[in-house]
Amino acid sequence: MKKLKKIVLALIAMVMIAGCSTDKPDVVDPNVDVESKIVVATEIDLSTMDHHLATDATSFIAQTMVFAGLVELDENNQPQKDLAESWDVSDDGLVYTFHLTDTNWSNGTPVTANDFVYGWNRLIAQETASQYSFIMETIKVKNAAAVTSGEMAKEELGIKALDDKTFEVTLDAPCDFLLGLMAFPSFFPMNEEFATQMGDQYALTVDNMLYCGPYVMSDWMSGSGYKFTKNEDYHNADAISTDVVEFKFIQDAQSAMLEYQSGNLDVVTLTGQMVDAYKEDDGFTNRLQGYLWYLSVNFDDPNLANKDLRQAISFAVDREKMAELVLKDGSIAAQGLIPVALAKDKDGVDFRESNGPQVEYDPAAALEYFSSAQEALGDEISVELLYEDTEAGKSVAEYIQNNLETNLPGMVVTLNSKPKKTRLDMMKTGDYQICLTRWGPDYADPQTYLDMFLSYNTSNNNGKYNSPAYDEAVLEATQGASASDSAARWELLKQAENIIIQQDLGVIPVYQNGGAMMIAPGITGIEFHSAGVDNYRNMVKE
């Protein structure tokens, strides 16, 4: 039976390819040894290579291939030296001094401390409009909030180039997870002269970037894929074993699997029924990721501003069956805003375990809340669900539509599928009612999720959730007197999650991402991180 499933899947993919594509097959570059090339399938197209504008994992992974930070995370999520060959931390934890290694940009100019100063200033500059500008405040860089808002000049930000090879960071308060975040692309350096020369064309093509990482970007065709070639000038080039890494954009998972079976792909993501068909095969890999998928509700919309309707929607979604019968890739039902296995308290207890389930499936309660919503909004309530045009996105959106229309008679759900970049743009402008979206943790602490929904976080709080009680709990935990008291801080973070999920239904958690993949035997070195960016730069093909 299992063999028959595989044959059927392969035949379906062959028919789809034959009927829908006239592209010629890729020709292997004769100048590249095929043994030194690894090809990865990606179901999401690359949005941007500007690491101050990126918000998605696909872009971040690509950026870590060609740029580098002060540190790199190892397979155990621990920071190891990269562009910084060493660092010192003051006794009070407020001053970090990074000593840079000798390395050059791809145009031959040295990477200096000034490149970090310029990059960090650009990140929080209002004209950049980075959705990650908040992260400078997250690590408590001195005066970050005032500089971001324009109340202070950029020269007042707590960063300084002591000389070409010494970068100093001063904080308002200690931050235990600062070093790990130095591997995150938002904190990467940028060459001011080159970026200024490129202007609004920066990072739009492979020639409009300077590289300081283990690879350079040698090809990028939107809607098709992108390629990286080893950067021999990278300071640690000897540790990079693969000459070429190529990412191919293939939305249909069955087509990608056929390419994998034909030897044209080395890494593919599995979805739905494919997991059952291939889970016993060599190369099958499954893991629980830190990504939390949730429904962002637009509080500017009259329907979604109704709390009874939001509560009805939350109770009407059967998350357990969604994970088991629709996704089948190791995903699990969300229990709250904070994922499982993200962070533990001082006693080693997982946050998710300590705060308990915040959502549940209860059709009877859903119907009761929906009846109350109908009294205010009318018997028939229509909403549009925005989602991105991936195979998993479509399956989950259709499942949610079915749950809502079945469990809430009188509810009409229209689906709106968009490419990820378009979806993100629509969320940013508030052009949606409900959106199926996700957030991946930038660091291993509940704050990475809770910060997003502060009332003043215009970069991430797309639905315009606004709760003084929530703001107070999060800010006291992260910036107040309780920030230095681990136990008190933890309790406040738990309280904040209770407020936004149970009390306000500010967002509606749906599921935590699994990661079913096929990785060709002989491929090693992919480092999966529950918090931060998965690392493909150290892959090896034996």
The upper half-sphere exposure of residue 241, i.e. CA atoms within 13 Å in the direction of its Cβ, equals 12
Please tell me whether residue 444 adopts helix, strand or coil conformation.
coil
Confirm if 345 and 490 have CB atoms less than 8 A apart. yes
Q: Where in the chain is the domain with CATH 3.10.105.10?
A: 288-514
Q: Where in the chain is the domain with CATH 3.90.76.10?
A: 68-199
Superfamily name and number for 68-199: Dipeptide-binding Protein; Domain 1 (3.90.76.10)
Please tell me whether residue 118 adopts helix, strand or coil conformation.
helix
Q: H or E element: which one contains 519?
A: strand 517-519
pLDDT at residue 25, rounded to an integer: 33
- Distance, in Å, from the CA atom of 181 to the CA atom of 269, rounded to the nearest integer, reads 27
- Distance, in Å, from the CA atom of 339 to the CA atom of 350, rounded to the nearest integer, reads 10
Amino acid at 193: E
pLDDT at residue 3, rounded to an integer: 43
**C-beta atoms surrounding 481 within 10 Å:** 9
- Distance, in Å, from the CA atom of 100 to the CA atom of 84, rounded to the nearest integer, reads 4
- Distance, in Å, from the CA atom of 396 to the CA atom of 529, rounded to the nearest integer, reads 24
Confirm if 57 and 390 have CB atoms less than 8 A apart. no
pLDDT at residue 5, rounded to an integer: 43
Chain-centre distance for alpha carbon 429: 20
Q: H or E element: which one contains 355?
A: helix 351-355
Burial grade of 227 (CB within 10 A; 0-12, 13-18, 19 or more): buried
- Distance, in Å, from the CA atom of 120 to the CA atom of 137, rounded to the nearest integer, reads 12
Confirm if 351 and 486 have CB atoms less than 8 A apart. no
Q: What is this structure's pTM?
A: 0.77
61-72 in b/e form (b: 16+ CB < 10 A) is: bbbbbbbbbbbb
Q: Where in the chain is the domain with CATH 3.40.190.10?
A: 2-22+31-49+205-287+516-541
**C-beta atoms surrounding 176 within 10 Å:** 11
Angle at 163 between CA 103 and CA 82, to 5 degrees: 35
pLDDT at residue 20, rounded to an integer: 39
pLDDT in single tens digits along all 542 residues of the chain? 444 444 444 434 433 333 333 333 333 344 444 459 999 999 999 999 999 999 999 999 999 999 999 999 998 888 999 999 999 999 999 999 999 999 999 999 999 999 999 999 999 999 999 989 989 999 999 999 999 989 999 999 999 999 999 999 999 988 888 999 999 999 999 999 999 999 999 999 999 999 999 999 999 999 999 999 999 999 999 999 999 999 999 999 899 999 999 999 999 998 877 888 898 999 999 888 888 999 999 999 999 999 999 999 999 999 999 999 999 888 999 999 999 989 888 889 999 999 999 999 999 999 999 999 999 999 999 999 999 998 889 999 999 999 999 999 999 999 999 998 899 999 999 999 999 999 989 888 999 999 999 999 888 899 999 999 999 999 999 888 898 888 999 999 999 999 999 999 999 999 999 888 999 999 999 999 888 899 999 999 98
CA distances from residue 323 to 341, 395, 428, 510 in whole angstroms, order as listed: 17, 11, 28, 9
Chain-centre distance for alpha carbon 45: 14
- Distance, in Å, from the CA atom of 101 to the CA atom of 366, rounded to the nearest integer, reads 58
In this structure, which topology does domain 2-22+31-49+205-287+516-541 adopt according to CATH? D-Maltodextrin-Binding Protein; domain 2 (3.40.190)
CATH class of 288-514: alpha beta
pLDDT at residue 405, rounded to an integer: 98
pLDDT at residue 153, rounded to an integer: 95
Phi, psi of 357 (to 5 degrees): -65, 135
Closest CA to 62 of 49, 75, 43, 80: 49
> Which residues are CB-neighbours of 438 under 8 A, at least 6 positions away?
291, 292, 293, 294, 513
Confirm if 206 and 219 have CB atoms less than 8 A apart. yes
